[in-house]
Amino acid sequence: MERVNARLAVLSAHLEVPDPMPAAIEPWFTSSVAAPHGSLMGNLTIVDERTGKKYHVSVSEDGTVRSTDLKKITRGKDDKGLKLYDPGYLNTAPVRSSISYIDGDEGILRYRGYPIEELAESSTFLEVAYLLIYGNLPSQRQLANLEFAVSQHSAVPLGLLDIIQSIPHDAHPSGAFVSAMSTLSLFHPDANPSHMLIPIVCMQGQDIYKSKQVRDKQIFRVLGQAPTIAANAFLRTSGKPPVLPSSNLSYAENLLYMLDSMGNKSYKPNPRLARVLDIIFILHAEHEMNCSTAAARHLASSGVDVYTAIAGAVGALYGPLHGGAVEAVSKMLSEIGTVENIPDFIECVKNKKRRMSGFGHRVYKNYDPRAKVVKKLAYEVFSIVGKDPLIEVAVALEKAAVSDEYFVKRKLYPNVDFYSGLVYRAMGIPPQFIAVPRMAGYLAHWLESLDDPDTKIMRPQQAYTGVWLRHYAPVK
């Protein structure tokens, strides 16, 4: 009865006077605190010791310099100017963004200024998705509208289900998810700038995303259909029949329903497990300019449709050094097996014979704040489904590592992947499903890039190291 009443409340709110999604961030919903460092604006004076010349470079309020300003530092007419060599983009900011903030030294992660711990404690995934995409937490009516719209767009085109069913049964679920997500652009040509190009007015296709209605519809489609695609891709690779979403379940409940119900419409997911999944989705929703998010913005800069851009991002997330790390942790703990084997494993890691998955992070040089939350969730899940013996291995491995000078000196601490794998495993959820909540972050960055006047098609430079010049000679 509670579920019915909750659903009626959503429907009632939707039937009231429409309260559209905001066109921009509304500052009266925020209580802002100024950055502790204040403005970093100023100027740099650079002395080129090769020529003795001095150059002045402006520093912005956020402490950045434009890399193109360095092109004027040149040794002569044959020198095209300085370039920044930055493999892996260790210190390159290709965009200015207001979506999320990370302080890796202090172990801080915030979504639009809100600490991740507060959101995980009190919010829901769709509420956080709204926050990330539109800039502020929603009103009750706005949240009801989003929940209704996402639910209405949760069914995928029948042709897409046929494509999923044609995927080899032994395919990797992530590969199936990437393929299905990219195919959505074929089923929605009305939202594809390339399909909408008209030769006489060549820019008309790119202009379709200037429409707020078009943007919102793609957001609802992606958020609504991602769980359905992910669940049915996994069911296909598990040899199980497809299951369609239910219209009277929450976002997390729906995913559990599709995974576990076998099509039994009376099946009800455990509400405590659904809440755990909802929190994990909040933790995985966004993480600044990581590999997959950068891929999404890189692709979107070409003007491609949102489905192709997101499919490319999920392809990057698929990699074992990115989202695949969740799966790697479970495999690692299984291989260690027992607490008694940890000392030998630690020595193998130190001797670079083994890799310790779930420890260390490109950004965090402190304890990942998300990892603390997931560790608590693991015990919540085990209290419901039974204790996984590998949790003892995980806790003992963490304790051994954080007290070992080798790891402390290198600032290697558990990241969100370390305990997530155990939680997913206990709930019977494939670890590749972290792609589902990350849709919120990808969509937020896609939307931000559309409105950013600095957005240009991404075209990095290179430092050429090949042969300078040679002439063709025909084979004799």
**Tens digit of pLDDT at every position of the chain (476 positions):** 555 455 445 444 444 434 556 654 443 344 556 666 778 999 999 999 999 999 999 999 989 999 999 999 999 888 889 999 999 998 999 999 999 999 988 889 999 999 999 999 999 999 999 999 999 999 999 999 999 999 999 999 989 999 999 989 888 888 889 999 999 999 988 888 887 654 544 445 668 899 999 999 999 999 999 999 999 999 998 899 999 999 899 999 999 999 999 989 999 999 999 999 999 999 999 999 999 999 999 999 999 999 999 999 999 998 888 877 788 888 899 999 999 999 999 999 999 999 888 887 778 778 889 989 999 999 999 999 988 888 899 989 999 998 999 988 888 888 888 888 889 888 988 888 899 999 999 999 999 999 999 999 999 999 999 999 999 999 98
pLDDT of residue 205: 66
User: In which element (H, E) is residue 406 found?
Assistant: helix 405-409
Confirm if 417 and 355 have CB atoms less than 8 A apart. no
Angle at 338 between CA 337 and CA 343, to 5 degrees: 105
The tokens of 152 are what?
Answer: 């209405």
pLDDT of residue 246: 93
Residue 44: DSSP 8-state? E
pLDDT of residue 23: 53
Grouping H, G, I as helix, E, B as strand and the rest as coil, residue 46 is strand
Confirm if 465 and 204 have CB atoms less than 8 A apart. no
Confirm if 245 and 228 have CB atoms less than 8 A apart. yes
Catalytic hit among 153, 298, 361, 445: 361
pLDDT of residue 183: 92
Grouping H, G, I as helix, E, B as strand and the rest as coil, residue 53 is strand
Catalytic hit among 260, 322, 404, 452: 322
CA distance 377 to 358: 16
- Annotated active-site residue 153? The verdict is no
Angle at which helix 158-166 crosses helix 212-237, to 10 degrees, equals 30
User: In which element (H, E) is residue 467 found?
Assistant: none
CA distance 118 to 99: 16
pLDDT of residue 137: 97
pLDDT of residue 190: 83
DSSP per-residue codes, 89-132: GTT-------SEEEETTTTEEEETTEEHHHHHHH--HHHHHHHH
The tokens of 376 are what?
Answer: 């608590």
Residue 217: DSSP 8-state? H
Confirm if 112 and 100 have CB atoms less than 8 A apart. yes
pLDDT of residue 21: 64
Residue type, 40: L
Grouping H, G, I as helix, E, B as strand and the rest as coil, residue 166 is helix
- Annotated active-site residue 404? The verdict is no
pLDDT of residue 11: 45
Strands 53-59 and 114-115: unpaired
Angle at which helix 325-336 crosses helix 416-427, to 10 degrees, equals 80
DSSP per-residue codes, 371-397: HHHHHHHHHHHHHHH---THHHHHHHH
Residue among 66, 57, 55, 59 at smallest CA distance from 37 = 59
User: In which element (H, E) is residue 59 found?
Assistant: strand 53-59
- Annotated active-site residue 322? The verdict is yes
Residue among 45, 44, 41, 43 at smallest CA distance from 63 = 41
Contacts of 320 (CB under 8 A, 6+ apart): 327, 328
Confirm if 438 and 284 have CB atoms less than 8 A apart. yes
Residue type, 20: P
Catalytic hit among 14, 388, 417, 445: 417
Confirm if 319 and 435 have CB atoms less than 8 A apart. no
